[in-house]
Amino acid sequence: MRVWMERLVKKAQNGDKDAFLQLMQEHELAMYRTAKAILHREDDVEDAAQEAVCRAFYKIGEVRKPRAFKAWLMRVVINCCYDLLRDQRGIVPLELLPEKGYTEEWDTALDVRESLSKLGENDRLILTLYYLNDLSVRDVARLLGISEGAVKQRLVHGRKRFKEAYETREQEGRAVSYEK
Amino acid sequence: MKNKKDLSGAVRAGQARLSPRDYRRDKGFAGFLAKELDMEAAPAAYHKALRRAYAELPRDMPVRHYPLRAALKSLATVAVLMLVLGASLLGVNQAYPQLTENLPGLGMVFKAINGTTDDGLPAPPPLAKTATGTSRGKGRQARAMPVFDPVEIRDPQGLGTLTVDNAWSDGRQVFLDVSLWVPADTLATLLEGKVEETELPTALEFSQDPDTSRAIAIADASPPPPDANDSLDSLPGSARVQVNGRSPVSIQSITLQGSPYIHGYPDCLALVQQDIQERDTGDGKTETCAHYTATWVLDVPIQPSDGQDISISLDLSSVWASYPSSRYSEAELPLIFTGDLAVKIDTGSAITIETPAEDNHYTLENVSCTPGQFSASIQAPHSGYYGYSLLPLEYASVPPRYKPYGMYAVLADKDGTVLAQTLWDGTDPQPDSSGQLIYPLHFSALMKPLDREKLVLTFYQFDPEDLESWASYGGTAPGEAALNPVMAQFTIDLAEATAAPSYTYQEAGLTKLSVEDCQKGPHHPDFENGLYVQSIDEGSDVNGRRTWLISLLAQEAQLPSIENWELLCTSQGQPVQTLPACPVADESAYNAFLPDDPEILVLETEAGYFWRLEQGQQAYEDGDYVHLFFLVRQPDAMALEGLSFELVDTSNGQTLIEDVQAAFLRNLTSTLTGAFRTADDANSNVTTD
């Protein structure tokens, strides 16, 4: 499938609009998940995705490595989300990405929803890009401009947090197993 | 060899502290995460919003501008003018040779063209060329490639040995045949705790990743700057190679499998595990070593002339152990190799074949070959699309409707070792002067540099990558059956510099299809009771429960009785559950939407789902089919051994498909071998040569 995608990217760069639309349709869910990880509100997600489609249309010629198209598109979506937040609130209310000494105490989560609400924006984004959008650790690191070690650390902590929350729920007989 | 205590220090020098096990990917967790983040599927309103965005886009896409292309266009214009002028002078030369031979500056050229000797007499005519026929191409012969003395580079800690076994250059690129030997126990110790795999890594990559500290600096701004990618791309890597004192513009790694190494990043220096074998340590002892090999191809920044030396400087560190089959498991290893070598430029090993060769309407032309590179132009006829074969949609890398037959060229040596293969590049066919649709293809491949006697270029009906998926899915390994019909084959004799049709595929039991036959349909076995099992795919849902997705094509005549159909699931011969169908055109017969796609109506029961897919019908151009799906869910009590599915019509007790899995395998194998053709078809249509 990757080879097909790369051909579509090249075709789109050469002016094939059908190829561009196919690319967009293939990535609709990935764009949705990325935007949702940042914005939460469905209306905002729609707005950001629409803007991302428009920007991708004009900028796809700048993609130098067709195989990196998905990561590039996710970068476009993320930028659109940040721009939207800036317009709405004047600032981007995202937590800083601490690179070293990531020693925040992970309290014992009692509920998945509670755990989710405490999960930082960037952690949610990293988990989404890695587990749901299938980007590699390297791609996520490049996309967010952080080190691979930081991505791995956040994946481990994010997963651990979910796992704790999930296992607590499971003990209460409310959940299904996700660990094989 | 270093002992374990010493190695632990080396390991500490490495980077990885987190185990990949802690963040491994698994479907269950991804499903759980998607559910909890409310991201399992996008709502219909989101898709509608995107449809609106698509509709508002301008009709024409902006196209990349190529300044170089514009310059080349200007150059081409000048070249055309020169050609016109030259042609005019040639015409004058035909009529008035004395005039052109006396032109200042150009007179000598026309004298040479006219064969006029200094004494004024015409030279004798050249000998007539040997007639080679339209199917054979012939060209200039080559000389043997120069000999290279291997260069050995050792890791300073004794952790491994890198050897440049052979090197060759045509002045534009340098080819390095590289092998790396690392003691197996050393490698295992270095990897301890870093990866969850128990096997030694199947590949090693000398990383050229951006410098981590620079990445961290960029990350200090949150959110990261919009041009973070660009900044990162331009950062220097940690593995350094220099050719004549400069960094090569491009680096490629060619594996023994005959294809560029494309796992991870293509511009890395990669090595792929060849084997694990005993190696002489030089002191009369042997040790078990992991053996990695590859051919590295580096662009030469400045092109020197024939016979000169090119200097190569290798400064390799930051090796990543890699497992391409699970690409998220990797670890950095503290191996370091630093050394220099020289390669003599050789331009005399190249051959060219100007005369075209033809086989089954495929025309091979403009062949050029060196010990390390092969290129040729091919005019390939349009023979139809995958869609004619009713192959499973999800196993083709491109939707079948758009994927043509016969575009898949494999280059092998005379022993059948695959050196390279090329896939359809996405170009559409163009009509030639007679109205036939032709694909103008270009095959270009880099190879391990060797003096070879012959090369064999074979064009297959199906993409070998797809075929492998289909074959493994269908339980038929390539080689067990004669899969993938041949469309054309050429053998290039490098000693004689000729190209001609050949038939070595027959030794593998393969047959050739004539283009005329391929252009006709159908390309699949007959429907049984008006039904065709296209695929059966085993998977699991987000809760880890096993599922089977059955894709079925039905002819319209079958549909009136569809409300009586049931898919009967049996385990060890005992009925376990049934999954009913419903009238496909009656929306009231459905009771739910497909969870993955809220626009598709389904009939949901305890046993699973049934639905009809509207999209995708156009993929099959040789008939009017209704595309039906059954998604069977594994009931708690169902044993997985001896499971089978039978489609029955409950109104009359008729069995429509006795064993769905068997019918699928039958259809698939029959299509991929061409065995569905009747004896009459075979006699009249299949070229047996």
Please give the pLDDT value at position B403.
77
pLDDT in the model for residue B567: 95
The per-residue DSSP string of B445-478 comes to EE------SEEEEEEESS-HHHHHHHHHHTT--B
Q: What is the mean pLDDT of residues A18-23?
A: 89
CB pairs below 8 Å between A and B: how many?
199
Residue closest to B216 by CA, chosen among A104, A102, A136:
A102
pLDDT range class, residue B8, cuts 50, 70, 90: very low
Query: Would you say residue B78 has pLDDT above 70?
Result: no
Report ipTM for this prediction: 0.80
The strand pairing partners of B548, in sequence order, are B538, B632
Cα–Cα distance list, B38 to A31, B83, B559 (Å): 14, 67, 38
Predicted confidence (pLDDT) per residue in B307-349, tens digit: 688 999 999 887 878 776 554 456 778 889 999 999 988 888 8
Check whether B1 has a pLDDT greater than 90: no
Contact list in B for residue A54 (CB cut-off 8 A) is 53, 57
pLDDT value at residue A13 = 83
In angstroms, the CA B206 to CA B240 distance is: 9
Cα–Cα distance for residue pair B100/B108, rounded to 1 Å: 9
Residue A32 has its nearest CB partner, among B42, B53, B218, at B42
Which tens digit of pLDDT belongs to each residue from B557-569?
778 889 999 999 9
Kindly determine whether residue A29 and residue B41, on different chains, have CB atoms separated by under 8 Å: yes
- H-run or E-run covering B362: strand B362-369
Which pLDDT does position B687 carry in this prediction? 37
Cβ atoms within 10 Å of B62's Cβ, excluding its own:
13
Kindly report, residue by residue over B642-673, the tens digit of the pLDDT.
788 999 999 999 999 999 999 998 888 888 87
A2-89 belongs to CATH 1.10.10.10? no
Pairing of strands B531-540, B574-580: unpaired
Chain A (125-154) residues lying within 8 Å, Cβ to Cβ, of chain B: 127-128, 130-132, 134, 136-138, 141-150, 152-153
| More reliable by pLDDT, A119 or B379 | B379
Q: For chain B, give every domain's residue range.
A: 93-125, 151-344, 357-518, 531-658
Q: What is the pLDDT of residue A171?
A: 59
Q: How many helices (H) and strands (E) does chain A have?
A: 9, 0
Evaluate whether B671 touches B390 at the Cβ level (below 8 Å). yes
Q: Are A76 and A130 in contact (CB under 8 A)?
A: no
Q: Above 70 in pLDDT, residue B577?
A: yes
- Quick check: helix, strand or coil at residue B586? coil
Max mean pLDDT range (B112-126, B175-189, B321-335): B175-189
For the cut 90, the answer to whether the pLDDT of residue B603 exceeds it is yes
Strand partners for B332: B320
**Beta carbons of B615 and B608 less than 8 angstroms apart:** no
Give me the phi and psi of B174, to 5 degrees please. Answer: -115, 130
Spatial distance between the Cα atoms of B588 and B125, rounded to a whole number of angstroms: 87
Query: Structural domain boundaries of chain A?
Result: 2-89, 95-180
What confidence score (pLDDT) does residue B280 get? 86
Q: Within 13 Å, how many C-alpha atoms sit on residue B308's CB side?
A: 12
What's the CA gap between B341 and A76, in Å, rounded?
A: 44
Identify the residue with better confidence: B543 or B595. Answer: B595
Q: How far apart are CA B310 and CA B249, in angstroms?
A: 15
- Tell me how close the Cα of A84 comes to any Cα of chain B, in angstroms: 13
Single-letter residue type at B582: C
Query: B120-134, B424-438, B627-641: which range is least confident on average?
Result: B120-134
Count the Cβ atoms, other than its own, within 10 Å of residue B464. 17
The distance from CA A55 to its chain's CA centroid, rounded to whole angstroms, is 18
**Most B CBs within 10 Å, among A27, A33, A126, to test the B interface:** A33
Query: Is residue B15 classed as helix, strand or coil in its secondary structure?
Result: coil
- Searching chain A, which residue's CA lies closest to the CA of residue B426? A7
Per-residue pLDDT tens over the stretch B19-42: 555 666 666 677 778 887 888 889
Do the beta carbons of residue B431 and residue B438 sit within 8 Å? yes
> How much is the pLDDT for A64?
67
Residues 6+ apart with CB under 8 A from B175: B166, B167, B168, B169, B295, B296, B297, B371, B372, B446, B448, B449
- Closest-CA residue of chain B to A92: B223
Mean pLDDT value of segment B636-646: 73
Least confident of A48-57, B83-92, B262-271: B83-92
Contact flag A15-B63 (C-beta cutoff 8 Å): yes
Mutate to test the interface with B, among A27, A28, A29 (most CBs of B within 10 A): A29
Running DSSP on this structure, what letter comes out for residue B234? T
A85 shares contact with chain B (CB less than 8 Å): no
Residue B112 and residue B123: Cα distance in Å, rounded? 10
Integer Cα distance of B468 and B463 in angstroms = 9
Residues B229, A156: C-beta atoms closer than 8 Å: no
pLDDT of residue B228: 41
Of the given ranges (A29-43, A82-96, B240-254), which has the lowest mean pLDDT? Answer: A82-96
**Residue B3 CB contacts under 8 Å (≥ 6 apart), including other chains:** none
What is the residue whose two structure tokens read 């002191």? Answer: B283
A2, A32, A96 ranked by CB distance to B222: nearest:
A96
- Amino acid, single-letter form, for residue B162: L
CB nearest B215 (choices: A24, A145, A176):
A145
For residue B59, pLDDT over 70 is answered with yes
The percentage of residues in chain A with a pLDDT greater than 70, rounded to a whole number, is 65
Greatest Cα pair distance, chain B, in angstroms, is 103
Q: How far is A64 from chain B, CA to nearest CA, in Å? A: 10
Min mean pLDDT across B115-119, B198-202, B424-428 is at B115-119
Q: Mean pLDDT across the stretch B171-175?
A: 91
User: Measured between alpha carbons, how far is B209 from B233 in angstroms, rounded to an integer?
Assistant: 9
Residue B284's pLDDT is 83
> What's the confidence (pLDDT) of residue B689?
36
Rounded to 10 deg, the angle between the A42-59 and A69-89 helix axes is 130
Whole-number pLDDT of residue A28: 93
User: What is the reported pLDDT for B26?
Assistant: 65
Mean pLDDT (chain B) is 74
Contact B229 A143 (CB under 8 A): yes
Going by pLDDT thresholds of 50, 70 and 90, the confidence category of residue B240 is confident
Name residue, tokens 């947090």.
A161
What is the distance, to the nearest Å, from the Cα of residue B535 to the centroid of all Cα atoms in its chain?
23
Phi, psi angles (nearest 5°) of residue B374 = -130, 135
Record: fold of B357-518? Immunoglobulin-like (2.60.40)
pLDDT on residue B263 = 47
Return mean pLDDT, chain A.
71
Average pLDDT over residues B243-254: 83
pLDDT band at residue B130 under the 50/70/90 scheme: very low
Other CB atoms within 10 Å distance of the CB of residue B648: 18
- Scored b (16 or more CB within 10 A) or e, A82-93 reads bbbbeeeeeebe
Asked whether B445 and B374 are in contact (CB, 8 A), the reply is yes
Minimum-distance CB partner of A15 among B61, B264, B397: B61
Pick the more confident residue, A93 or B111.
B111
Residue B100 is predicted with a pLDDT of 58
Buried b (16+ CB within 10 A) or exposed e, B554-587: beeebbebbbebbbbbbbeeeebbbbbbbbbeee
> What confidence tens digit (pLDDT) does each residue in B417-445 have?
888 877 676 677 888 888 888 998 888 88
Percent of chain A scoring above 90 in pLDDT? 16
Q: What percent of chain B has pLDDT over 70?
A: 66
Q: Which residue of A has its CA nearest to B218?
A: A145
> Which pLDDT score, from 0 to 100, does residue B229 have?
42
pLDDT above 90 covers a percentage of chain B that reads 24
B194-214: average pLDDT: 65
Pick from B185, B205, B210: which is nearest to B329 by CA? B205
> Any idea which architecture A95-180 has in CATH?
Orthogonal Bundle (1.10)
